[in-house]
Structure 1
Amino acid sequence: MRMLAGVFALFILIGADGRGFAQQSDLVIGTEGSYPPFNFTDASGNLQGFDIDIAKALCVKLQANCRFVAQDWEGLIPALLSKKIDAIVASMSITEERMKVVAFTQRYYRTPARFVAPKSSHITDTSPDGLAGKSLGAQSSTIHAKYLEEHYQESTIKLYGSHDTAMLDLAAGRIDAVLVQSTAVYDWLNKTPEGACCEFVGEPLSDPAYFGLGAGIAVRKEDEALREQLNQAIDAIRADGTYQQINAKYFPFSIY
């Protein structure tokens, strides 16, 4: 996916309508583009998904001219720090490790991690002992990958460049289970022929020490004014019903 070449200036001004929202020139938002239903590229090459809709709603509140850039997951934080983008809206979990290098807004959603396995596997015990000897998948450079590497050392861990590739390998029988954010596979399990093969197994995993405090918007640490303006905008779209409308477009349950 192409990286937007220019670095756009960001100007924070006080909104003239008294709401205190930011009024900005070009605000460049980075996302992954391969994590449906949160962010993905449609047949016309346009970015779509929950993350994208939330970001667009926030841009309306900020009165900002937002440009979206698709970037490989592992390159998102480097792109932010090098000022190629101004914010990351890509279902990035708020973790202590990431907060060492970037700042986060409050969460804009939170869901537990789950293992997904073929229905024919009859897996019920997803503890490290229960999955010893199994081949387990996750997207690389994610909290799920780190959790597997730290706790499932008796299993074979296979990491993927994208969430979609991991699920395709699971459906093809090349791995035994995938650890993933539960809502990220909701559509795949319930609405696709490939997903009919599989199901959630074991209990949800939500320990904040490993899985963070929910998904937040990452900005550079020095951009405190932008972080605060985004927090105000998140509060605003939840208060006026915009958030709930976007939520209902993708899920029949609240993910906040």
Structure 2
Amino acid sequence: MSQTISTPRQRSIASAGASSRGATMAAGTRVFLAGLALCAAGAGPAHSQARSPAPASAQPDRARVTVPNFWNPRSRGERVEAPQTGRAVRFLTDDEFPPLHFSGPDGNPTGFVVELTRAVCEKLSIVCTVQARRFDTLLDSLAERQGDVVAAAIPLTPALRARFAATRPYFRWPARFAARTDRGLPVPSAGTLAGKSVAVLGASAHAAYLKAFFPKAELKDVPDLAAAEGAVKRGEADYVFADGLNLALWVGGQEAGDCCALIGGDYLENRYFGEGIGLVTRQEDAALSRALDDALQRVWDDGKYAELYLRFFPVSPF
């Protein structure tokens, strides 16, 4: 499904009003996030397999939603213009990973990443199209010149940079703790977690992080995230430590039953949780990559990033 993004240059064009991530993102996680995305986008009831979202009438308290800032104010330079190609810049995405990118009620691609792409094109005053393709074909399609930019949840890694160019991260996956709100548990630290039980996926990056930085915590290995969340809800574990995006959906949804909340800060160590995601281009399109990077910075500066974040993340993973 293709979609054209309107820009100041061409207003007549129509526009639409991980534990592992990227190529190894489990299909179950994609379904798991659907409830939050549909609720945030006002798209109606969630898929039957998705977790039930919070009531639609429960709007996010914007004063309490943390919007992450991935930009260094000292890195700002002169405005970078997009190279003029004489045609639309073609963005490739996937439509099965809400709230980052998914198919909207009208069948067109939408989601936080897609709408951020629209904002970037507005900043650069360029015409852009968005086409949804199967996730595991995106990078090959880019290499084969079937598109110009990949805008999807593909992790930034040394292997990716050896093959492609990419902007700085515009989104990352924080690790977070969650706990019951009725037990008065302390904010997690190396000291306060001594003797406390923490549900965590066995053999995961989150388990390795706990062992390295919270060595006195009692790890309760579980097979999947649902088991970890259930253990905390039933009081069988004091905390759960997992991907913040998944936990944000859970604590804000009906399955948690208002039992629990995120507690403490976010953890973003690259070695354990990755660098995040950026807009990916071919290496020979370095000028386009620099322009996209500059536009992302300006989208943050003018508040549009925060506006989109609040729309698609009513419960912030940060």
Tell me which amino acid in the other structure corresponds to 2:152: A
1:33 aligns with 2:96: yes
Whose strand fraction is larger, Structure 1's or Structure 2's?
Answer: 1
1:51 aligns with 2:113: yes
Q: Which residue of 121, 129, 136 corresponds with 2:201?
A: 136
Q: Aligned in 2, Cα 1:84/1:210: closer, same or farther, shift over 3 Å?
A: farther
Q: Which residue of 219, 241, 246 corresponds with 2:303?
A: 241
Which residue is 2:171 aligned to?
109
Query: For residues 21 and 97 of structure 1, what CA distance do their matches in structure 2 show?
Result: 26
Q: Which residue of 207, 231, 243 corresponds with 2:293?
A: 231
Query: For residues 108 and 20 of structure 1, what CA distance do their matches in structure 2 show?
Result: 19
Q: Aligned in 2, Cα 1:225/1:50: closer, same or farther, shift over 3 Å?
A: same
Q: Aligned in 2, Cα 1:208/1:66: closer, same or farther, shift over 3 Å?
A: same
Asked whether the 8 Å contact 1:59–1:65 carries over to 2, the reply is: yes
**Percent of residue pairs bearing the same amino acid type:** 23
Matched residue SS, 2:170: strand
Aligned length: 223
Tell me which amino acid in the other structure corresponds to 1:100: A
Give the deviation of 1:34 after TM superposition: 1.7
Query: For residues 89 and 116 of structure 2, what CA distance do their matches in structure 1 show?
Result: 17
Asked whether the 8 Å contact 2:173–2:273 carries over to 1, the reply is: no
Highest Rg: 1 or 2? 2
Q: Which residue of 127, 139, 156 corresponds with 1:64?
A: 127
Give the deviation of 1:151 after TM superposition: 6.5
Q: Aligned in 2, Cα 1:99/1:130: closer, same or farther, shift over 3 Å?
A: farther
Which residue is 1:88 aligned to?
150
Matched residue SS, 1:66: strand
Tell me which amino acid in the other structure corresponds to 1:52: V
Tell me which amino acid in the other structure corresponds to 2:142: L
Give the deviation of 1:227 after TM superposition: 0.7
Question: What is the alpha-carbon root mean square deviation over aligned residues?
Answer: 4.6
Matched residue SS, 1:231: helix
Unaligned runs of 5+ in 1: 5-17, 138-144, 160-165
Query: For residues 111 and 246 of structure 2, what CA distance do their matches in structure 1 show?
Result: 11
Taking structure 2 as the reference length, the TM-score comes to: 0.51
Taking structure 1 as the reference length, the TM-score comes to: 0.61
Which residue is 1:194 aligned to?
255
Q: Aligned in 2, Cα 1:207/1:27: closer, same or farther, shift over 3 Å?
A: same
Asked whether the 8 Å contact 2:206–2:272 carries over to 1, the reply is: no
CA displacement, residues 203-252 of structure 1 (integer Å, 9 cap, x when unaligned): 63211223334431122223212211211221332333332332333347
Which residue is 1:9 aligned to?
none
Unaligned runs of 5+ in 2: 3-78, 212-218, 232-236
Give the deviation of 1:170 after TM superposition: 6.1
Asked whether the 8 Å contact 1:32–1:70 carries over to 2, the reply is: yes
